[in-house]
Amino acid sequence: SYPRGDETTPFAHVLKAFLEKGGFTVWMDAEGIQGGPNFMSAIGDAIKASRGIVAVIDTKFCGSTYCNDELAMAKGNGLQIFPILFRDMPFDQLPNGLQYMLASTNSISFPDAAIDDVNTAKMLEHIQATYDPTATTGKVRRHGAPAPAATAGTDAADAAASEDAVT
């Protein structure tokens, strides 16, 4: 989820490519929606088919009904939210409702384009650590949730132990 803009749109495309290179399938409305009155249904369908949502939050996002609705729908459907505080948007300047929605979520600041590569790598690591690589259900492992039970000495136990070290 991102507000279209001179800086946010190119950033969202770069982030999409980076996440896809990291092994994730990424849906973006710029590529997934045909023009016409059903664009809200297309976005809703995409959110329901997703396991998580990356939100590029800036001043324009805060004032966008569509962006806020996308985030609220994602949260209401139990998706993992990965907020990016973009450029000049500190957490304490988010609207109260958005602060409330994101209060228990780790966000990553992207204050300057010069360090976007470093922060994008952190974001990818955070997303990869959130999803349980040993799960076969496609469910999200919530922040701080215990790793799945496994028998000691198995590949699953080794993977769970290494994931706990990342979390």
150 phi and psi, to 5 degrees? Answer: -150, 160
The predicted structure's pLDDT at residue 27: 84
The predicted structure's pLDDT at residue 151: 38
What's the rounded Cα separation, in Å, for the pair 86 and 15?
12
Q: Which residues contact 5 (CB under 8 A, 6 or more apart)?
A: 58, 60
The predicted structure's pLDDT at residue 78: 93
With cut-offs at 50, 70 and 90, classify the pLDDT of residue 9. confident
Name the least confident of 53-67, 87-101, 118-132, 152-166: 152-166
Q: Residues 80-111: pLDDT tens digits?
A: 999 999 998 999 999 999 999 999 998 999 99
Buried b (16+ CB within 10 A) or exposed e, 76-91: eeebbbbbbbbbebee
Average pLDDT score over residue span 57-63? 91
